[in-house]
Amino acid sequence: MKDITARIDFRANTQAVSPAMVAATQKNARTALLKRSEVVVEFGEERWQQLRRAGRELRLHALTHLDRYLSMVEENVIAAGGHVHWARDAEEAHSIVLDIAMQNSVRNIVKVKSMVTEEIELNHALEGRGIRVYETDLGEFIVQLAGQRPSHITAPALHMTKEEVAALFREKLKVDAQPDPKLLTEIARQRLRKEFLTAEMGISGGNFLVAETGTLILVTNEGNGRMCTSLPPIHVAIVGIEKVIPDWESAAVMLKLLARSVSGSKITAYNTFITGVRKDGPREFHLVLLDNGRTQILRDEIARETLMCIRCGACMNICPVYNQVGGHAYGAVYPGPIGSILTPLLIGTRIAGGLPFASTLCGACSDICPVMIPITEILLHLRRRFVEGDDFEGSSISGTLKAIAKAGRYVLGSPSLYRLGARMGKIFQAPLRSGDWIAAMPSPLDRWTMARPFPAFRGDFRGWWKKHKNAKDISGGKAS
């Protein structure tokens, strides 16, 4: 298992990104965005905004009544013959799943794509005990074969071209794979067929949990979800506690929002509804309700809206930063704008405090989010938490930088001090200046100039305006 206490260095990670990966990410993200906008235009802008507002309201309502709805889920799942387990963290979730596996002599597991199992690194825990885990979603199958982590929450292999996938299949599966998506899919299908039929356990996540009936909703496009949750004799679903929604009316709203935002379709190909044990399904159904830091997030009045996320991936597709660096640069399970807020909230700002800074704050993510999560507001809030150290971990910023930031705030808030500062800056920059730029700032400000040049001080705007206001170069539209 990787060291989860190592600080995520977003800037260093971006240096490992290849141009081919960026090109594939941009192409695939653009296609997804185009499809989404077509289907939203067809739905009607006004209706879409109404649907978004309804989705937001009901997700907020569910989050503020989690205790009630989770109890309803538990009661209804047990009444339908299922088992409910509560896991405080990854370790507890691992031991619950391992216990079920050991009691039933499970050696092979087929899995549906699930971000929450990536979050708790379930595959590592199972494989560490000699159990083989087969990812059955095509994208997950590819990244598992490549030994990588997903680069997108709905399209795990978004960063790969068909040529790269064909080469991977040739190398790992020893087959004559050509770069044709249909043929590659067929190869994966053939490989997985035997595993579907022989696995003793199927593991899934869940898109929603409907409290009024205790139903798990699973939304997939490939049909593998149905196979994993109906063929093996045991089905274990691991679901974050925030996924609960009150009733089927809520489900109708959420499914419309999700399908359009994920894949630009009116409805996802496979919507699977599972309530406890079915006559024609697995003999055992286990629901693991996972906290893993979520109740801690709920305590933060601003950041708690992060838990409304329905994992559609639209914020990634539209994000200019994600499109420049791809998902792996975020160094964590959840990439893109949602990852930049969710990761530090889940694993702490000490480790992931740099991620909220991996944003231009353009606001495109908040605008596209189907449940209207104010991502930019939460990014700013987390930056503040990181700098001020007002969370349980303490500040991650050096005392010198803090003093400089405080002085900067004071100077920028006073016109006279600002003018004086600009004049002093002009004088003191002389030894560092190279033409119009300052190539390297002294420590600790050198972190800025390591990444980009800093423009030299050229006096304050008022002084410049006084000198130029009557000049022809301004009236002609060419201010020098």
- What is the four-CA torsion angle of 152, 153, 154, 160, rounded to 10 degrees? 20
Q: Which amino acid is at 168?
A: L
Of 313 and 421, nearer to ligand SF4 (C-beta) is: 313
455 and 417 in contact (C-beta within 8 Å)?
no
- Of residues 221, 310, 192, the one with CA closest to residue 257: 310
H or E element in which residue 226 lies: helix 224-230
151 and 327 in contact (C-beta within 8 Å)?
yes
Smallest distance, Å, CB 374 to ligand SF4? Answer: 10
Smallest distance, Å, CB 144 to ligand SF4? Answer: 22
Residues engaged in binding ligand SF4 (CB under 6 A): 261, 309-315, 338, 368-371, 373
Smallest distance, Å, CB 398 to ligand SF4? Answer: 32
Of 96 and 368, nearer to ligand SF4 (C-beta) is: 368
- Of residues 89, 112, 130, the one with CA closest to residue 4: 89
Smallest distance, Å, CB 315 to ligand SF4? Answer: 3
Phi, psi (5° rounding) for residue 316? Answer: -70, -45
Of 160 and 371, nearer to ligand SF4 (C-beta) is: 371
Of 134 and 334, nearer to ligand SF4 (C-beta) is: 334
Q: What does R_g of the chain's alpha carbons equal in angstroms? A: 26
Both tokens of residue 455? 């423009």
Straight-line distance from the first to the last Cα atom of the chain, in angstroms, rounded to the nearest whole number: 57
Smallest distance, Å, CB 120 to ligand SF4? Answer: 19
Name, in order, each residue with C-beta under 8 angstroms of 352's C-beta and a sequence gap of 6 or more: 7, 8, 332, 343, 344
Of 338 and 358, nearer to ligand SF4 (C-beta) is: 338
Smallest distance, Å, CB 435 to ligand SF4? Answer: 42
Phi, psi (5° rounding) for residue 455? Answer: -70, 140
Of 272 and 366, nearer to ligand SF4 (C-beta) is: 366
Q: How many CB atoms lie within 10 A of CB 320?
A: 12
Smallest distance, Å, CB 165 to ligand SF4? Answer: 24
Q: For residues 95 and 88, what is the distance between their CA atoms, to the nearest angstrom?
A: 11
207 and 217 in contact (C-beta within 8 Å)?
yes
Smallest distance, Å, CB 370 to ligand SF4? Answer: 6
